[in-house]
Amino acid sequence: MEQMQHQMMGYDRTSIMFSPDGRLLQVEYAKKTVKQGTTAMGMVCRDGVLLIADKRISEPLIIPSSIEKVSPIDDHIGATASGIVSDGRVLIDIGRVMAQKNRVTYDSPIDTLSLVKNICDIKQYYTQVGGARPFGVSLLIAGVNDDCDLYLTDPTGIYFQYKATAIGDSDDEIKDMLKKEYKESITLNEGLKLCLRILRKIQGKNFDMERIDAAVIKTSDKKFMKLSVNDLNKLK
């Protein structure tokens, strides 16, 4: 029995070895890391797309504005990460290079889906390479080309398109709330109010507008725009 346990333990010591029941344990550990990450939401609205995330400020002396959880990739695309945020920063930087290469090569902004596929290819590559670990991060990538798009990428390199979704801590509970309250006719302002209301309910007494990072991309100008605390307070 002890020998069997020792053999089973060995399957999680490399990311490229399948367990007897057909699982890549390091990839599953990466998914659990995302579940423990900060909460983030994305939503497709009638007049654009939004991203909103919790900064989870752990120390009182941290300057809230120094923490960036929602980042631009190109003028018309933004992303937020949950899990190992440094992994997300690297992938976002890679996405920025991809977007600029597309502009230089084709003289046009990159399609959101093309960017998502390229990032997911990189994520998948690191699930099958020895000497490296999978990316321990999920990304919500939102963009406006001809349409408003919202994609979720997980550590395996899989991606899904959503109308509204959440990643990180309490994501299942948030998704249940979104299922009940989200409507395709919702506007950006209404969507932001809904997301803030959900975060307030989830976080309870710990909710603080200072720890919220948010951005919108409107269909009217297709420009990524960060929202300040004052902008968010006006939505109350």
Which residue segments constitute the domains of the chain, with CATH numbers given? 35-233 (3.60.20.10)
pLDDT digits (tens, 9 = 90+) for 33-42: 999 999 999 9
pLDDT digits (tens, 9 = 90+) for 171-198: 999 999 999 999 999 999 999 999 999 9
How far is residue 181's CA from residue 183's CA, in Å, rounded to a whole number?
7
Beta-bridged to residue 71, according to DSSP, are 79
**pTM for the complete prediction?**
0.92
Mean of per-residue pLDDT scores for the chain: 91
Confidence at residue 6, expressed as pLDDT on a 0 to 100 scale: 45
Q: Where on the phi/psi map is residue 168: left (φ > 0), alpha (ψ -120 to 50), or beta?
A: left
Residue written as tokens 């550990």? 29
Confidence at residue 111, expressed as pLDDT on a 0 to 100 scale: 96
Closest CA to 195 of 70, 66, 76, 67: 70
